[in-house]
Structure 1
Amino acid sequence: MSPSLPAPKALANAAGGKVERESTSARILGAGTAGLAELLVFHPVDTIAKRLMSNQTRVTSSSQLNSVIFKSHASDPITGRFFSLFPGLGYAAAYKILQRIYKFGGQPFVRDYLQTNHRGEFDRTFGASNGKAILHATAGSLIGIGEIVLLPLDVLKIKRQTNPEAFRGRGVMKIVADEGFGLYRGWGWTAARNAPGSFALFGGSAAAKQYLFELSDYNSATWFQNFIASIAGSSASLIVSAPLDVVKTRIQNRNFEIKESGAKVISNMIRHEGFSAFFKGLVPKLLMTGPKLTFSFWLAQTLIPAFNKVM
C-alpha cells in the first residue's frame, strides 16, 4: 500500500493548466481581512453611491446634489457632513465582512467542486484554453446567487444609509421580530443581479490572468497582476449588474410597510424617469464603488494565496 501524500497546492490538470488549492483558514482569513479593510476605507463612498441611486429627482444644481448626498446634514460644517456618511456602520461591518468571507472565500469551494467533477465538460464545451476562465466565472455566479442569505443585513444597512426614518426608534431585534421574512424583500432581484454580476467579476479577473498575463496557475499572480485582473473583473461586474442593482436598492430602501413589487418599481422608473434611470449612479459607482470592489477583490486574491503559503 503506497503512503498517502499531502494534497499539493496546485495540481496539473488534463489541459495542462493548474488547479489551485488553498486551505480553508487561508480563504477565510484572506477574504475577511479584505472585507474589513474595504469597510474602513470605503463605507462613506458606499453611502454616497446608495443615496444617489435612491434619488428619484433630477439633480440640476450643486446645492441639490449636496442635499441628496448629505440629507438633513447638508448645511452642517464639513466635519458634520463627513461623519453623516457613516450611518449603519454596525450593520455594514457585519454585512461586509461576512459577505466578503462568503463570496471571496466561498467561490474557491464551488470552484474546487467544478474542477473535480465538471472540468472536462467545460474544456469540451468552451475549449481547453477557455474552459478554466469560464469555470471560475460559473463558480462566482453560483456563489453570488447564494449571497441572498445575507440579504437582511444588506437591507438594514441600506435603510440606515438612505432612509433612517424607516427605523423610527426601533432596535435591530424589534425590527427583525416585526418584519421577519419581510427583510428578504427583493431577494429575487438580488439573485438576478448577483448571478451575472458575480460571473463578470470572477470571469473578468480570470480572463485577464488567462489571456493578458498567460498564467496557468492564477495563484501565482503578482500583486500588480492581481490588481489589473481585479480592475477588469470589478468594472465588468458593475456595468453588467447596474440596472438590477438600481431596482434592488429602491426595493430595499423603502419604509418597511411599503410592499411595492420589483415589477412596479421598474414600471414607475420607465414611466417617470425613462430608461436612463436604470443606470443612475453608474458613473459614481465606477469611479467610487469600482475602486472599492477592486480594492477588496485585489486584497482577497493576493492575501488568500499568501496566507496559504504560511499556514
Structure 2
Amino acid sequence: MDDVKKLLKEAAIQIGSGGSAGFVEVCIMHPLDLIKTRLQIQSGKVIGKTSDPHLYSGIVDCMKKMYRHEGLTSFWKGIIPPILAETPKRAVKFFTFEQYKRFFLFGSPTPTPLTFSLAGLGAGTTEAILVNPFEVVKVTMQANRATGKELPSTWSVTRQIIKEHGFGLRGLNKGVTATIARNGVFNMVYFGFYHSVKGYFAEYEDPIKEFFRKVGIGFLSGTLGSCINIPFDVAKSRIQGPQPVPGQIKYRSTLGSVMIVYKEEGFRALYKGLLPKVLRLGPGGAIMLVVYDYTHHYLSARFAD
C-alpha cells in the first residue's frame, strides 16, 4: 500500500511539474510559433520585399505585416488550443519520459544516453497522439488572416472541422503521423542530449550559476532538436494548413509532403520557419526544463513524507 501511495505521489509531482512547465512556455513563446507556421504554410519563394500582406520575406517582414494588417493581438492567434493542450501535453511528456526510462534501462543500473533518447522518443510519440487534434485547430486558426474581432472562436473552428471532416485523418487527426515524427524526433534529441550532457558539467552550489547551467544546456537541447526535426514540422504544417487549391488535397502523407516540398521548392524549403522555431524552442526548451526541475524540487520537498 505504501508503494502504491508513493508511486501515485511521484506521478502527481511529475504531472504537476510538467503541466506548469508547458503553461509558462506556451504563454511566453506562442508568437514565434505562429510566425513559424505562417512561414511554413507559405508555398513558393518570396524574393525581395513585397507589398502583399499575405506573403512574407522573413520573420521581421511577417511581424510588421501581421501587426499592420491584423493587429497586436494577432500574435496570439490560436493560443487557446495550445494552452488547453500544453498542461496535459507536457504533463504526459515528462511523466511518460520517467516511465519509459525504466523500460529502456536494458539491465543497466543507471540510465544511459540510449535510455534517455529512447525514453524521449516514446514520450514524444505519446504526446503527439494526445495533442494532434489541438494542433489541427491551432494551425487552422494561425493560418486565418482576419483581424482579432473577425477571427472565429476556437470552439467554432473545432465544430467546423468536425462537421466537415469528422475526427479521422482528414479531420481532427489530420497529420497525426507528421506530428508523431516531429515530436518523437524532437524529444529523442531534446531529452537524450540534455540528460546525457548535464552529467558532464558539475552542479554549482551558487543557485544563480546553477540556474544558468541548466538554461544553457536546455537551450542547446531545444535548438538541436529543432534543427533536426524541422522537415517533419514543415510537412505537418502543409498537411494541417490550407491546401494550395481549395477542394484538392495536395499534401497527404508525411514523407510524400516532404518530397513534394523538396522537388517543387528545393532543399532549403524543408527548413522554412527554422529561425522562429529555434528562437522559440531554444529558449522554450530551456524554460520548460528549468521550470520542470524547480517545480519538481519544490513539490517533492513540499509533499515529502
Structure 2 distance, partners of 1:304, 1:288, is: 23
- Tell me which of 192, 216, 219 is aligned to 2:181: 192
Match of 2:158 among 157, 166, 172: 172
Counterpart position of 1:154: 135
The answer to whether structure 1 residue 139 and structure 2 residue 131 are counterparts is no
Alpha carbons 1:122, 1:134 under 8 Å: kept: no
- In 2, Cα distance between equivalents of 1:294 and 1:63: 35
Give the secondary-structure state (helix, strand or coil) at the position aligned to 1:184: coil
Name the SS for the 1:84 alignment partner.
helix
Query: Deviation at 1:173?
Result: 3.2
Q: Deviations over 1:148-206 (max 9, x none)?
A: 222011111011012468x9894423432442213212222222222222110001101
* Partner residue of 2:37 out of 27, 45, 50: 50
RMSD, aligned CA: 3.5
- Cα distance in 1, alignment partners of residues 284 and 49 from structure 2: 25
61 and 24 in structure 1: CA distance in 2 versus 1, 3 angstrom threshold: same
Q: Which amino acid aligns with 2:95?
A: G
Structure 2 residue corresponding to 1:74, chosen from 65, 68, 79: 65
Whether 1:281 aligns to 2:273 is yes
**Equivalent in the alignment of 1:119:** 105
1:208 aligned residue: 197
Q: 1:13 maps to which residue?
A: none
2:214 aligned residue: 226
Aligned counterpart, 2:90: 100
> Structure 1 residue 306 and structure 2 residue 263: aligned?
no
Q: Which residue of 1 aligns with 2:21?
A: 34
TM-score (norm 2): 0.78
Identity of aligned residues (%): 21
Q: Does the C-alpha gap of structure 1 residues 231 and 289 become closer, same or farther in structure 2, counting only changes over 3 Å?
A: closer
Q: How big is the shift at 1:56?
A: 1.6
Cα 1:97–1:62, aligned 2, differ >3 Å: closer, same or farther? Answer: farther
3-state SS of the aligned residue for 2:81? Answer: helix
SS of the residue 1:27 aligns to? helix
- The CA deviation at 1:271 is 2.3
Q: Which residue of 2 aligns with 1:16?
A: none
Given that 2:116 and 2:191 are in contact with CA atoms closer than 8 Å, whether structure 1 keeps it comes out as yes
Corresponding letter in the other structure for 2:161: I
Alignment of 1:252-291 (within 5 A): 252-254=240-242, 258-259=248-249, 260-262=251-253, 263-291=255-283
| Aligned partners of 1:59 and 1:65 also within 8 Å | no
Distance 1:171 1:162, change over 3 A: closer
CA distance in 1, matches of 2:263, 2:33: 28
TM-score between both structures, scaled by the size of structure 1: 0.77
Q: CA deviation at 1:35?
A: 1.4
Asked if the contact 1:140–1:198 (Cα under 8 Å) also holds between the matched residues in 2, the reply is yes
Inter-partner Cα distance in structure 1 for 2:22 and 2:180 = 21
Mapped to 2, the partners of 1:187 and 1:86 lie a distance apart of: 23
CA distance in structure 1 between the partners assigned to 2:93 and 2:66 by the alignment: 39
CA drift at 1:51: 0.8
**Structure 1 unaligned spans of 5+:** 10-20, 216-220
One-letter amino acid matched to 2:74: S
1:14 aligned partner: none
Conserved 8 A contact 1:235-1:286: yes
Aligned pair 1:235/2:226, yes or no?
A: no
In structure 2, stretches of 5+ residues that fail to align are: none
**CA distance 1:252–1:29, shift in 2 (3 Å):** same
Q: For residues 31 and 293 of structure 2, what CA distance do their matches in structure 1 show?
A: 24
Give the CA deviation at 1:300.
Answer: 1.5
* Residues 56 and 171 of structure 1: CA distance in aligned 2, closer, same or farther (over 3 Å): closer
Q: CA separation of 1:273/1:28 partners in 2, compared to 1, >3 Å: closer, same or farther?
A: same
Aligned equivalents of 1:47 and 1:299: distance in 2? 23
Query: How many Å apart are 1:25 and its aligned residue?
Result: 2.0
Distance 1:214 1:121, change over 3 A: farther
Tell me by how many angstroms 1:100 deviates: 1.3
Aligned pair in 2 of structure 1 residues 206, 40: CA closer, same or farther (>3 Å)? Answer: same
